[in-house]
A and B are shown apart, each in its own frame.
Chain A
């Protein structure tokens, strides 16, 4: 068992960013995820599509540990993290955004991003104020520019508009050089120009970085993703390249035909 584990870890290293093995998640009698097997290559970008209630967010929660799977295993970069708490998975290079913004209303924008940069480093318990030349400050200032929030970086998060809060969500997930990011409908509620900014940001990420994006907007999804996974009723229903998925008649019928909202 351990020998096989070590072998699979060796083989997995550098090849797979993420592996889900027979992952299920129940909420009482409700089966939100049913026996999901899923593999994401290192550096791969995947779009997850599916109507509301398909289990996409639950899939993210199972990977991040927010709501661990009821059964099944989760492997991050070859390491089994099924039994690790959320923050331990994050420290291994995982990040995520939330479909409904989860932010720090009483903090300033720049402080929030600064914390995101600090979260994966040591000195989380430092009782000293950061200095101007601190590398986490530089990283935070770069990120605040990348998501176009410079003008409001000193403002309290609670005073931001919805679009600005979505941008902040993305900045928090990109802080600290992640290796795999889970983006839960990052473009929801953004204006067309903000959407194209978002696409630009995602396309300019370092090539070794993987991400999974849940996105209803096909234009956004297909412009950033290498492959597409379709979900329906807690199951993976189809996987393929964007062209395969767009041309698939079953997909057309089930997803594109109706229930896009």
Chain B
């Protein structure tokens, strides 16, 4: 795909080029749409919908880390706070808060607040680079966790909230497995397409350029800090929307929803899946959810984190680009793939570039 894009003639296309649609993509879409019709409720809801939700939260991290070079451990914090807001502004069964706003007010308000929180976290951390961004966002995640756990007036402390439900709309109860799966698929698919599209927009290209060289971007007239904060806002929007689905999925929200362990899981999902393309986080999420549900059958519950840790280590060691990178490496060897094109293209282009003498002359 990369080779194809680099050679492509339509450098900037205004919309989505249908000719770019790979048969594999069509097959994947059909498969995802048909999924509930040939699986049980368990696979539709616990595996399917949950993977889509976790994948969407990890997608928000992919946007920041893959395109922006900023690894944030606070994306689940954004989703978690949004989940809390749904319980606080709307209804819950605990008898604390629950302002009883209608869903069409609760949901947009919670998502907007989540996105603003994302931007705020961005504003705090964008002046740092690399490991320091991780440290600051980790600190924010930890502080938020303890804050919601100790605050009883607003967040109901340890217990959190239960009885948080999606509305019944068009005569459909949206927490039923099949409708909820399609709702999650709509959100995940929508954000997936949006991120893929935006990656080639002026903002998206700028974000990737900042990742590669922030100093040069300043020298082109870009306000690097503002660009990064806007990326955090968009990522916050994605994570917050997934947070609404998360609280509907669980029916409840508690400090553990946004605990540090869970935050690290999101990082593992995104990195294992691959940060170079928006599909990566979803691959990672499916793998994670399958392991979480079925590794239990093979090993003790306490060993689960060891398994996840080992998988993480193996993928990072052998395929820095995650499962996605693994797939890209295997693909050229599969004969039936019509796009299989080994990396030889790059070598010939180099050779066709400049004569060696040009490179060696010095002042």
Binding site for B on A (CB under 8 A): 64, 66, 85-87, 90-91, 95-96, 98, 102-108, 110-112, 114-116, 118-120, 123-132, 134, 137, 152-156, 159-164, 172, 175-176, 185, 187-192, 194, 216-217, 261
Which of B5, B12, B197 counts the most chain A CB atoms within 10 A? B12
A111 touches B218 (CB 8 A): no
Having A104-B212, A112-B209, A176-B221, one finds 11 other A-B pairs with CB under 8 Å, namely A66-B218, A66-B219, A103-B216, A111-B205, A124-B222, A125-B230, A129-B200, A134-B12, A137-B12, A161-B358, A161-B359
A128 touches B201 (CB 8 A): yes
Chain A residue with minimal CB distance to B231?
Answer: A125
A18 to chain B, nearest CB (A): 16
Interface string of B167-210 (1 = CB under 8 A from A): 00000000000000000000000000000011011111110110
Chain B residue with minimal CB distance to A154?
Answer: B6
B127 to chain A, nearest CB (A): 12
A114 touches B346 (CB 8 A): no
A114 to B8, CA, bound (A): 17
Residues on A with C-beta less than 8 A from B213 are 102-105
Chain B residue with minimal CB distance to A162?
Answer: B359
B205 touches A114 (CB 8 A): yes
Q: Provided the pairs A64-B219, A106-B212, A154-B7 are in contact, do residues A128 and B205 lie with their beta carbons within 8 angstroms?
A: no
A154 touches B358 (CB 8 A): no
**Interface residue from A66, A104, A125 paired with B208 (Cβ < 8 Å):** A104
Q: Provided the pairs A90-B219, A152-B353 are in contact, do residues A194 and B203 lie with their beta carbons within 8 angstroms?
A: no
Chain A residue with minimal CB distance to B355?
Answer: A191
A23 to chain B, nearest CB (A): 19
B59 to chain A, nearest CB (A): 16
Which of B197, B213, B217, B224 counts the most chain A CB atoms within 10 A? B213
Chain A residue with minimal CB distance to B223?
Answer: A87
Q: Top 6 nearest A-B pairs by Cβ distance? A: A119-B221, A161-B354, A119-B220, A90-B221, A191-B358, A86-B218
B216 to chain A, nearest CB (A): 4
B34 interfacial by beta-carbon distance below 8 Å? no
A26 to chain B, nearest CB (A): 21
Which of B13, B197, B220 counts the most chain A CB atoms within 10 A? B220
A259 to chain B, nearest CB (A): 12
A25 to B219, CA, bound (A): 20
Chain B residue with minimal CB distance to A169?
Answer: B216
A106 touches B211 (CB 8 A): yes
B357 touches A191 (CB 8 A): yes
B206 touches A162 (CB 8 A): no
Interface string of B219-236 (1 = CB under 8 A from A): 111111001001000000
Residues on B with C-beta less than 8 A from A120 are 220-221
A-B contact pairs, 24 of them (CB 8 A): A66-B215, A66-B219, A86-B218, A87-B219, A87-B224, A102-B216, A102-B219, A103-B212, A104-B209, A107-B205, A107-B209, A110-B11, A112-B209, A114-B205, A118-B206, A124-B221, A125-B202, A125-B203, A131-B14, A159-B346, A163-B354, A190-B358, A191-B358, A216-B363
B94 to chain A, nearest CB (A): 39
A124 touches B206 (CB 8 A): yes
A153 to B7, CA, bound (A): 9
A104 to B67, CA, bound (A): 12
B197 touches A129 (CB 8 A): yes
A98 touches B218 (CB 8 A): no
B60 to chain A, nearest CB (A): 15
B354 touches A164 (CB 8 A): yes
Q: Provided the pairs A124-B227, A154-B8 are in contact, do residues A96 and B219 lie with their beta carbons within 8 angstroms?
A: yes
B349 touches A155 (CB 8 A): yes
Residues on A with C-beta less than 8 A from B12 are 114, 129-132, 134, 137
Interface string of B324-363 (1 = CB under 8 A from A): 0000000000000000000000100110011101110111
A164 touches B361 (CB 8 A): no
B363 touches A127 (CB 8 A): no
**Interface residue from B202, B218, B223, B359 paired with A128 (Cβ < 8 Å):** B202
B203 to chain A, nearest CB (A): 5
Residues on A with C-beta less than 8 A from B212 are 103-107
Chain A residue with minimal CB distance to B16?
Answer: A129
**Interface residue from B14, B230, B354, B363 paired with A185 (Cβ < 8 Å):** B363
Interface string of B289-328 (1 = CB under 8 A from A): 0000000000000000000000000000000000000000
Q: Provided the pairs A66-B219, A102-B213, A119-B222 are in contact, do residues A162 and B358 lie with their beta carbons within 8 angstroms?
A: yes
B202 touches A116 (CB 8 A): no
Residues on A with C-beta less than 8 A from B227 are 124-125
In B1-57, the 8 Å CB interface with A consists of 5-8, 11-15
**Interface residue from A103, A118, A188, A217 paired with B202 (Cβ < 8 Å):** A118
Chain A residue with minimal CB distance to B224?
Answer: A87
In B133-155, the 8 Å CB interface with A consists of none
Chain A residue with minimal CB distance to B12?
Answer: A130
A159 to B223, CA, bound (A): 27
A124 to B213, CA, bound (A): 17
